[in-house]
Amino acid sequence: MKYLNTITAVAFIFTISVFLSSCGNDDESNGKNGNGNGKVEKMAVAFDFAFRWGNELVINDEQEKTFHTSEGRPFIFEFPQVYLSEFALVDTDGDTTLLKDVVLMREGSHRISMGEVPAKKEYETLVLAFGLRHAINKGMQPVDFSLEHPLGPKVPSMWWNWDDGYILGRIEGPTNHDHPPSTAMDMNFSWHIGYTENRRGPLTYDITGLDLSKIEIAFNLEHLMESIQVPQEVYSTNMRRADLDRKIADLMSESIEVRVKE
């Protein structure tokens, strides 16, 4: 995949495709954003979400791919999952249109309908958050939702099974802690980030002048793994230390990128 530009703000890929859901009459006599009947023309927005290592799609199949950092350390990612929430678009008039509230990002590429926005507007900012706000994280649980709902039961589970609510980000799999690093997998790492205080947002991305149909948002696992000290931080299956939780939450939010496809 080739990119004209990468906007780094905070790596899941959303390919945002926008199409008119109601046409109406484009004549100026209809008034600003109107169709002559006082109704605002809308366009539907759908995002494609995906994990990537740089530009390469991360998927789970029978031949799980091994990814290597710049120092040659190998990683395999087993069913990565991250919660994103509070999506919105801000137009050049300063008006905010809220989109889908919660998305669970999983491996591979998935198209999800995000809602509708006024069609005859220019949008300059995309807003989202890493994790879940307190009212959702503490006030709801998977049994309250269907299997298809992002907050419903999942495999692997995104629920702590205790008072801490949902797992905001789950990144795990085989790696090694040799010095120097080798290709031999001799350990597993497990990052399960929770607690409402590890939510990060609002995260804002400048999309001024961009064709919404060519925007991608990616969760860049390469950026995440290149930022970690190995083995001191990776060589731990217990991520409940608050200082390390905060660092991983920061790095996960910084790994979310908005990209422009050619």
State the pTM of this model. Answer: 0.83
What was the pLDDT predicted at 111?
Answer: 81
Full pLDDT tens readout for the chain, 262 residues = 444 444 444 444 444 444 333 344 444 334 445 555 667 899 988 888 889 999 999 987 767 899 999 988 889 999 999 999 999 999 999 999 999 999 999 988 888 889 999 998 999 999 999 999 999 988 888 999 999 999 999 999 999 866 678 999 999 999 887 767 777 888 888 888 888 888 999 999 999 988 777 778 899 999 999 988 766 666 554 444 677 888 889 999 999 998 877 6
Give me Rg for the CA atoms of the chain.
Answer: 20
Cβ(31)–Cβ(127) under 8 Å?
no
Domain ranges of the chain: 3-23+41-261
What number of other Cβ atoms are within 10 A of residue 77's Cβ? 24
What was the pLDDT predicted at 15?
Answer: 44
CB-based burial, 28-59: b 16+ in 10 Å, e otherwise? eebeeeebeeeebbbbbbbbbbbbbbeeeebe
Largest Cα span, the chain: 71
Structure tokens at 157: 């589970």
3-state secondary structure at position 79: coil
